[in-house]
Amino acid sequence: MQKIIEASNLRVSFGKTQVLKNVSMTLHKDKITAIIGPSGCGKSTFLRCLNRMNDMYDNFKLEGAISFKGDNVYAKETDVIEMRRRIGMVFQKPNPFPSSIYENVAFGLRIQNINDKKILDEVVERSLKKAALWDEVKDRLGNSALRLSGGQQQRLCIARTIAVESEVILFDEPCSALDPTSTRKIEDLILELKKHYTIIIVTHNMHQAKRISDFTGFFHLGELVEFGETKKIFEDAKEKLTRDYVRGDFG
Amino acid sequence: MTPLRLKEKVIESTFFLSSSLAIFINLAIIAILTFESYGFFHKVSPIDFFTDTQWTPFFYDKHYGILSLFAGTFLTTVIALAVALPVGLISAIYLSEYSHSRFRVSVKPMLEMIAAVPTVVYGYFALLFVTPLLKNIIPGLASFNSLSAGIVMGIMIIPLIASLSEDAIHAVPLMLREGAFALGATRLQVVRRVLLPAAFSGIAASVILGVSRAIGETMIVAIAAGLQPRFTLNPLVPIETVTSYIVQVSQGDAAAGTIEFQTIFVAGASLFVMTFILNTISYGLRKRYMQAYV
Amino acid sequence: MKKSFLKKLSRNEMNDRIFSVVGLLATLLGVGVFLVLLADVAMDGLKRLNWSFLTSFPSRNPFDAGILSAWVGTVWLMAVTGAIAIPLGIMAGIYLEEYGKRNKLAGFIEVNIANLAGIPSIIYGLLGLGLFVRFLDLGRSVLAGGATLALLILPIIILATREALRAVPVSLREASFALGATKWQTLKYQILPAAFPGILTGIILAMSRAIGESAPLIMIGALAYIAFLPQQLSDPFTALPIQIFNWVSRPQHEFAVNAAAGILVLLFITLMMNGLAIWLRYRFEKKVRW
């Protein structure tokens, strides 16, 4: 097993509130890692640290280190733009751009000045196929993405990320705004994507973590309580807190 | 640095320069007003300027007592406020607490339209409609007077006070209203005992902004209030305000460097100081209520 | 005991009812006066409003006088004002909302803009007179007038731009950044198009404000009697509000009629622009659904 991202002694605060306390975690290539924990435990913050999405906030402060394939993500000379392309993200609420389905997928290429129609067509088709959306939208690529259903929008957001050839895809509770059928489709898709992508998924749904992930990390009050193989976390956790949580005693 | 990053930097710097223009404009205003005022006070003592009650720069016997212009500004502002404060505040309460949302949605654009009417139009209205109308009721009313100018100015300011006060009242959390309603209070009691105290700083901010607007208003008074500096509080006679004096002089041919030319900058400087103080207070109050509720 | 309790309650309710009537009247008062104003101006001016009024130069004879040089001057002014204020205002607004949030200097700029927004228009006239007419020696020209009005409406455009940018949901920025877009790419391709209707609304309102301004132009030295049209930026000019002011100030009734007719034209333009802005905003608010 090859490690791809490594977080060590991560301490994160927004203003005076400390959100993450000394978190260290190793993420493996081409595996699905689930991050679970009660709301407010810092799991989303952790995820957003991995591709520096928290940089947008004024009072964000981070200590410790995150490395991606050996490079320090927070180093001064890091090209944040390139790094974000390689570590893609799918958000809690589907957030397609208010443009056509086609342009949503093509956007990531266009900003790299790739405007060749042939290349774009090809990438759009391939990405939509990989995101299991092609058959549903192939006849109306010019339609507004905002007219798709919630589940379709979320798959479009995944296609968008695939199009820029991300190596890692971060999922921030991608199904929390979806109905069970759409959730199912996304889960199947994530399992399929695992073949080529490293996936990290934050979820408040323990069953989801259990169903799809290879590894699971349990966060509580800003600390990583336990991290290990999913089977072990759910059936034979070391910590009592973890056992209580996965049993549904709190959260 | 990569070309992409360089481009980003250049764009950011251009945007920064545009926004820093604001500092430059303020500095330019202050510099110009100070420079010309300095020339003025070289010739006229500040004591005379602030204590003399006559303003006669164009007479043989020259006096430079700004008080008579202040009196005009004060008078028109007080009259405007006497109209705009009650009407604006009552409208704000009505729109926020009494009216249906459909009524609010259709009335608010109308209020915006009222605020958008050019002031020269209001001047025409004050001089050629309101004054003749008032002459029927008040026989001693002069053709140019502060009363109709003030009233029309008040009407112009109503939308400002109404809309900003409504925002302030609307921003009071629903909880506070519900608490009072649960105790059996009527809407009016809730307004008086809960909403007005809670929204006080926001309402005060809107009123102060209204005062500042009235002090700075130019065309209505230049057209309808007369151009005769007079140290009086009689609303029926012609007066002159700080602003209308500036307009009066600039229509003529005061050459640069002369004291007549400098007087308009001195008048402008006192206007700037007054509105600056009022706007700052209003800004501070607004910030306070925004921190409290929004 | 019970009776007095009931009586008190009903008195409170009575006050409440009375207030709801008073409130309605107060709210409609402004609207009513506005309608009276419109009717008054229309009654005086409508009969004077004809083709030759729009195509004649001003004249000593009120019946020959028209607003040709006035409205052409206004068009020139607006072109200059827009060319200066719109790009500068949008860029400044973008900087303050998207780039400068962390630094103290941006905070200071913000206070400066808030101050500029509250300065009476006549002070801008003094600024224009001191800065453009004299210091930069532009004379009493269209350029000086347009530049002065540009400074006057700059804060309005900046504030409108910021508000429009603020209304664009964070999720859109996140989506773009997560795909590796730079800040400017995110702005150019996603944020600005989404904020465009809001910015446009602000621009229209600002321009409509500039069209109606008279005091600063009087300070700059816009003349009422101009019997020719500006050919270049350095030419002297007049404008609609200036012409109206000049006519209102004359004692003869015929000139007041001319003023009323000019006001009808001016009101038509400003109210149309405001109506358009309100309609745009209404449509935009309805459309947003991310």
pLDDT at B294: 54
**Average pLDDT of C192-200?**
93
- Residue whose structure tokens are 């924990």: A37
Cα–Cα distance, B250 to C123 (Å, whole number): 13
Residues of B in contact with C125 (CB under 8 A): 246, 250
Spatial separation of the C-alpha atoms in residues C81 and C209, rounded to whole Å: 11
| Other beta carbons less than 10 A from residue A243's beta carbon | 17
Rounded CA separation C17/B186 (Å)? 10
Sign of the C-alpha dihedral computed for residues B255, B258, B264 and B266 taken in this order: positive
Does the beta carbon of B106 lie under 8 angstroms from any beta carbon of chain C?
no
Residue B254 has what DSSP assignment?
A: P
Q: How far apart are CA C288 and CA C9, in angstroms?
A: 45
Across the interface, of B189, B268, B282, the residue whose CB is closest to C126 is B268
Question: What total number of domains does chain A contain?
Answer: 1
What pLDDT score was predicted for residue B104?
87
Question: Could you tell me which chains touch chain B, where touching means 3 or more CB pairs under 8 A?
Answer: C
- A18-44 residues labelled b (16+ CB within 10 A) or e (exposed): ebbeebebebeebbbbbbbbeeebbbb
Nearest CA in chain C to A156: C175
Mutate to test the interface with B, among C34, C77, C121, C123 (most CBs of B within 10 A): C123
Whether residues B218 and C278 touch (CB distance < 8 A) is answered with: no
Using a CB–CB cutoff of 8 Å, tell me whether A81 touches chain C: yes
Inter-chain CB proximity C194 and A164 less than 8 Å: no
- List the single residue in A51, A56, A95 with the smallest CB-CB distance to C175: A95
Neighboring chain C residues of A86 at a CB cutoff of 8 Å: 180
**Full DSSP string of B73-131:** HHHHHHHHHHHHHHHHHHHHHIIIIIS-HHHHHHHHHHHHHHHHS-HHHHHHHIIIIIH
Instruction: Report residue C90's pLDDT band, with 50, 70 and 90 as the boundaries.
Output: very high
Task: Identify the residue with better confidence: A25 or B56.
Answer: A25
All residues at 6 or more sequence positions from A103 whose CB lies less than 8 Å from its CB, including other chains: A97, A110
> Are C30 and B87 in contact (CB < 8 Å)?
yes
pLDDT in tens, B88-103: 999 999 999 998 888 9
Q: Which domain holds residue A113?
A: 3-247
Residues of A in contact with C99 (CB under 8 A): none
pLDDT for residue A181 is more than 50: yes
Please indicate if any CB of chain C lies within 8 Å of the CB of B13: no
- Burial (0-12, 13-18, 19+ Cβ within 10 Å), A133: buried
Range of the domain at C70: 65-287
Q: What is the CATH number of the domain that holds C220?
A: 1.10.3720.10
List the one residue out of B197, B257, B194 whose CA is nearest residue B42: B257
CB distance C34 to B113 below 8 Å: yes
Statement: residue C1 has pLDDT above 60: no
| Average pLDDT of the segment spanning B228-248 | 91
Chain C nearest-CA distance from B184, in A, is: 9
Domain ranges of chain B: 3-43, 67-293
Confirm whether C133 is domain-assigned: yes
Q: Is the CB of C33 less than 8 angstroms away from the CB of B4?
A: no
ipTM: 0.91
The tokens for C268 are 């038509």
Residue C253, judged by CB atoms within 10 A of its CB (0-12, 13-18, 19+), counts as exposed
The 10s digit of each residue's pLDDT in C230-273 is: 888 888 889 999 999 999 988 888 899 999 999 999 999 999 99
All residues of chain C having their beta carbon less than 8 Å from the beta carbon of residue A51 are 178
| Average pLDDT value for chain C | 89
Average pLDDT over residues B44-68: 86
Torsion angle of C-alpha atoms B19, B22, B23, B28, degrees rounded to 10? 140
The secondary structure element, H or E, covering residue A18 is strand A17-28
The partner residues of A11 in beta bridges, in order of sequence, read A63
> Mind listing the pLDDT tens digit for each residue in A64-90?
999 999 889 998 888 888 889 999 999
pLDDT on residue C242: 94
* 3-class state of residue A144 by DSSP: strand
CA distances from C145 to B33, C127, C263, C269 (A): 19, 11, 21, 19
d(CA A42, CA A20): 6
For chain A, what percent of residues have pLDDT higher than 90?
Answer: 74
Return the pLDDT at C283. Answer: 83
Q: Do A56 and C174 touch (CB under 8 A)?
A: yes
Which residues of chain C have a CB within 8 Å of the CB of A124?
none
User: What is the distance between the alpha carbons of residues B230 and B58, in angstroms, rounded to a whole number?
Assistant: 14
Reduced to 3 states (helix: H, G, I; strand: E, B; else coil), residue A5 is strand
pLDDT exceeds cutoff 70 at C288: no
Question: What pTM, to 2 d.p., does this model score?
Answer: 0.88
- How would DSSP label each residue in C114-132? HHHHHS-HHHHHHHHIIII
pLDDT of the residue at C289: 45
Mean pLDDT, rounded, for A236-247: 90
pLDDT of residue C290: 41
Touching check for A85 and chain C: CB below 8 Å? Answer: yes
- Distance from C-alpha of C56 to C-alpha of C218, rounded to nearest angstrom: 22
How many structural domains compose chain C?
1
Lowest mean pLDDT: which of A115-129, B128-142, B172-186, B211-225?
A: B172-186
Residue owning tokens 């919630």:
A150
Residue in chain C nearest A111 by alpha carbon: C181
Average pLDDT for B8-14: 92
Q: Which chains touch A (3 or more CB pairs under 8 A)?
A: C
Question: What band does C3 get if pLDDT is binned at 50, 70 and 90?
Answer: low
Chain B closest CA to C252's CA: distance in Å?
A: 12
Rounded Cα–Cα distance for residues C77 and C214 (Å)? 12
pLDDT above 60 for A196: yes
Which pLDDT tens digit goes with each residue over B126-156? 999 999 999 999 988 999 999 999 999 999 9
* pLDDT higher than 70, residue C5: no
What is the rounded average pLDDT for all residues in chain A?
A: 91
Query: Measured between CB atoms, does A97 come within 8 Å of chain C?
Result: yes
Which chain B residues contact residue C274 at CB under 8 A?
112-113, 116
Check if C237 contacts B (Cβ < 8 Å): no
pLDDT of res. C9: 61
Chain C, residues 187-216, CB within 8 A of chain B, namely 205, 208-209, 211-215
Across B104-113, average pLDDT? 87
B133 touching C (Cβ < 8 Å): no
DSSP per residue over A178-237, as a string? S-HHHHHHHHHHHHHHTTT-EEEEE-S-HHHHHHH-SEEEEEETTEEEEEEEHHHHHHS-
The fraction of chain A above a pLDDT of 70, given in percent, is: 100
pLDDT at C281 over 60: yes
Cβ <8 Å between B129 and C40: yes
Rounded (to 5) percent helix, strand, coil in chain B:
80, 0, 20
Percent pLDDT > 70 in chain C is: 94
Strand order in the sheet with A3-14: A17-28, A3-14, A60-68, A71-72
pLDDT at B3 over 80: no
Q: What mean pLDDT value characterizes chain B?
A: 90
Q: Which of B270-274, C187-191, C250-254 has the lowest mean pLDDT?
A: C250-254
In a domain, C26, yes or no: no
C194 neighbourhood in chain A, CB within 8 Å: 98
Backbone conformation region of residue B105, classed left if phi is above 0, alpha if psi is from -120 to 50, else beta: alpha
Mutate to test the interface with C, among B4, B10, B21, B274 (most CBs of C within 10 A): B21
Q: pLDDT at residue B199 above 80?
A: yes
Residue C287 has pLDDT above 60, yes or no: no
Contact between B22 and C155 using a beta-carbon 8 Å cutoff: yes
HSE-up of residue B11 (Cα within 13 Å, Cβ side): 16
Query: Is B36 within 8 Å of C184 when comparing Cβ atoms?
Result: no
From chain A, the residues in CB contact with C289 under 8 A are 146
Pairing of strands A60-68, A223-229: unpaired
B 263-282 residues with CB < 8 A to C? 264-265, 268, 271-272, 275-276, 278-280, 282
Is A54 at the interface with chain C, CB within 8 A?
A: no
Query: Smallest Cα–Cα separation from A202: which of A174, A230, A166?
Result: A174
Look at C222 and A29; give whichever has higher pLDDT: A29
**Which candidate from C170, C179, C193 shows the least CB-CB separation from A164?**
C179
Q: Cβ distance B156 to B79 under 8 Å?
A: no
d(CA A43, CA A33): 12
pLDDT at A191: 93
Give the separation between CA B21 and CA C88, rounded to whole angstroms: 9
Q: How much is the average pLDDT of B167-178?
A: 87
Contact C290 A95 (CB under 8 A): yes
Partner-chain contact B32 C131, CB within 8 Å: yes
Mean pLDDT calculated for residue range B72-85 = 96
| C20, C88, C89 member nearest B98 (Cβ) | C20
Highest mean pLDDT among A238-242, B72-76, B172-176: B72-76
CB neighbour burial string for C58-77, b if at least 16 within 10 angstroms, e if fewer: beeebeebbbbbbbbbbebb
Burial code of B132-151, b = ≥16 C-beta within 10 A, e = fewer?
A: eebeeeeeebbebbbbbbbb
> Would you say residue C139 lies in a domain?
yes
Cα–Cα distance measured from residue C154 to residue C148, given in angstroms and rounded to the nearest whole number: 10
Q: Is the pLDDT at A156 greater than 60, yes or no? A: yes
CA distance C241 to C235: 18
Whether residue C27 and residue B86 make contact (CB cut-off 8 A), yes or no, is no
DSSP string, A38-67: STTSSHHHHHHHHTTGGGGSTTEEEEEEEE
Mean pLDDT calculated for residue range C113-132:
93
**Taking CB atoms and an 8 Å limit, are A84 and C177 in contact across chains?**
yes
Multiple choice CATH, B67-293, 1.20.1260.10, 1.10.3720.10, 3.40.50.620, 3.30.70.1140? 1.10.3720.10
CATH code for the domain in which residue A60 is found: 3.40.50.300
